[in-house]
Structure 1
Amino acid sequence: MNSPAITRTGILAALAVSAPLSAAQNNAELAKSLSNPVAALISVPFQYNYDENIGPDDDGHRSTLNIQPVVPISISEDWNMISRTILPVISQSDVAPGAGSQSGLGDVVQSLFFSPKDPTASGWIWGVGPAFLLPTGSKDELTADKWGAGPTGVVLRQQGPWTYGGLFNHLVDVAGDDDRSDINSTFLQPFVSYTTPTAVSYTLNSETTLDWENDDSAVPINAIVSKVIPIAGHPYSFGGGLRYWAKSTDNGPEGLGLRLQVTALFPK
């Protein structure tokens, strides 16, 4: 028969093992939720991008910090509304001949997805809603100076460690400076991600922009590795990787670029 001391020792040992496992599982679930653009998870990503070989002489470069808060709001027993904001902070140099350097805010893209709280019977997760372009750019070189609007949507599936799907929006200008170029563009983002039990995610995506007004397009391909790490009891995701411009617009970036990202997570 086991003594009470041995029993207590066994219980404490079991708790010591199960607690780290539970924390690791929670971190892995958070990492997987980050692969879902309409997950019921408040997050604030800070995404840094560096691109070069910009302009007619390929001597321009640009740094962009995208601040991208994601806020899910329960609007009924069965539906969420997910607010996704992209606020770019830009620093660039020599992107146009004689233009010099500029730093400041770019134009905001605001999306609202209406998404069922539960996946479909076949396991698909989806959301649709409006997207808006807001001319918040602080300098002429950093803004389209147009108001835009259009539809946005996302569809994805999560099976085991895998997440795959796609996101899109289409924006058309509805007001703004008549002397600036009209906007009629489609954004397509197919993505696939694999998340390990240790909360490491390997993500491959493309962020294709189709400019129908000028019959042009840009196709950057991003390969990112990220990991959820708790700091002082609060979870963060840290990641980085490379982007390759498989196709670029006239005078757009070429070759390789860099992406780094830090995301603060606020699980319920």
Structure 2
Amino acid sequence: MAGSGAFAQKEHGGAGDLAKAAQNPIADMISLPFQSNLNFAVGPHSKPQNILNIQPVIPLHLDQDWNLITRWIMPVISQPPLTITGDREAGLGDFNPSFFFSPRQPTHGVIWGIGPTFVLPTGTDKTLTQGKYSIGPSFVAVIDKGPWLFGVLINNVWSFAGKSKRPDVNQMLVQPFVNYNFAGGWYLTSSPIITANWQESGRERWTVPVGGGFGRVFKIDEQPVNMQLSAYYNVVKPTDGANWQLRAELTFLFPE
């Protein structure tokens, strides 16, 4: 999503540099990720859930000092029954656009971005949506050091409108990420998504996964792509939350 101009030029020079650009959530590069999250043992029947996140990233150059990085996440969900007598549902989830203002030069070696994130109730079934309009701040920081690229993305959203019969929303997402890059575009990665639902209490509040995987940046014909496979175990989760998650991602990269 957004880095420095000099950093962007470095990123796009070869497979290793392009891999770092693909790993940076605010790299100054257009990308189109398709991220499939297969969650195991969800709901009272312990059935699988799949969430395919289609999340294009489009940077806009505001001036010589600042970028605006736009990230649009549209989930396509296959949801198992959430009640004993319920049915599986499939369709669109809630749309989640984010906007990061990011300086084009790193600050003391740190690439960072800050801005608003929104959740819009676009779900096509009541089990696929929170039914609320939500907004909150989002922040990301990235450090590129030798073969390592690591950082964290944090946001919290609160509901301000929507269906009055649906619960209010107050939830946080923290996604630390660590990548170690090898020659030829190969890398190891860990990028767990930690969430907290502040409307709940105790173990019902937190989802805390641990795990990781691997990936590679390469070309299909002349098109650069990033492919990644990882697995995560939820050491803390709500009662009907998933035990495991298998994440597969295919990203089309469009370096300048």
Q: TM-score, normalised by structure 1?
A: 0.87
- The answer to whether the Cα contact below 8 Å between 2:22 and 2:253 also exists between their aligned partners in 1 is no
Choose the corresponding residue for 1:261, options 231, 238, 249.
249
Superposed CA RMSD in Å reads 1.4
User: What is aligned with 2:208?
Assistant: 219
User: What is aligned with 1:35?
Assistant: 23
Deviations 1:200-244 (A, max 9, x none): 121112211111111211112341211111111110111112121
Deviation at 1:98, TM superposition (A): 1.2
Q: Structure 2: where are the runs of 5+ without partners?
A: 1-11
1:96-175 to 2 correspondences below 5 Å:
96-120=83-107, 122-175=108-161
Deviation at 1:93, TM superposition (A): 2.0
- The answer to whether the Cα contact below 8 Å between 2:99 and 2:115 also exists between their aligned partners in 1 is yes
Q: Amino acid of the residue matched to residue 242 of structure 2? A: P
Query: Equivalent residue of 1:206, what SS?
Result: coil
Query: Equivalent residue of 2:18, what SS?
Result: helix
User: What is aligned with 1:252?
Assistant: 241
Q: Amino acid of the residue matched to residue 41 of structure 1? A: M
Q: Structure 1: where are the runs of 5+ without partners?
A: 1-23
Deviation at 1:100, TM superposition (A): 1.1
Choose the corresponding residue for 1:48, options 11, 36, 39.
36
Q: Distance in 2 between matches of 1:233 and 1:105?
A: 32
User: What is aligned with 2:14?
Assistant: 26
1:236-251 to 2 correspondences below 5 Å:
236-251=225-240
Q: Distance in 1 between matches of 2:80 and 2:172?
A: 27
Deviations 1:11-61 (A, max 9, x none): xxxxxxxxxxxxx9612111111121111011000001111211235x222
Q: Distance in 1 between matches of 2:148 and 2:33?
A: 21
Deviation at 1:94, TM superposition (A): 2.7
Q: Amino acid of the residue matched to residue 142 of structure 2? A: L
Aligned length: 242
Q: Distance in 2 between matches of 1:261 and 1:96?
A: 30
User: What is aligned with 1:70?
Assistant: 57
User: What is aligned with 1:205?
Assistant: 191
Between 1:99-108 and 1:236-245, the stretch displaced more is 236-245
Q: Distance in 2 between matches of 1:114 and 1:25?
A: 25
Query: Equivalent residue of 1:96, what SS?
Result: coil
User: What is aligned with 1:21?
Assistant: none
User: What is aligned with 2:3?
Assistant: none
Deviation at 1:189, TM superposition (A): 0.8
Q: Distance in 2 between matches of 1:198 and 1:206?
A: 25
- The answer to whether the Cα contact below 8 Å between 2:158 and 2:170 also exists between their aligned partners in 1 is yes
Q: Distance in 2 between matches of 1:202 and 1:171?
A: 31
- The answer to whether the Cα contact below 8 Å between 2:32 and 2:57 also exists between their aligned partners in 1 is yes
Q: Distance in 1 between matches of 2:240 and 2:185?
A: 39
Choose the corresponding residue for 2:71, options 49, 60, 84.
84
User: What is aligned with 2:6?
Assistant: none
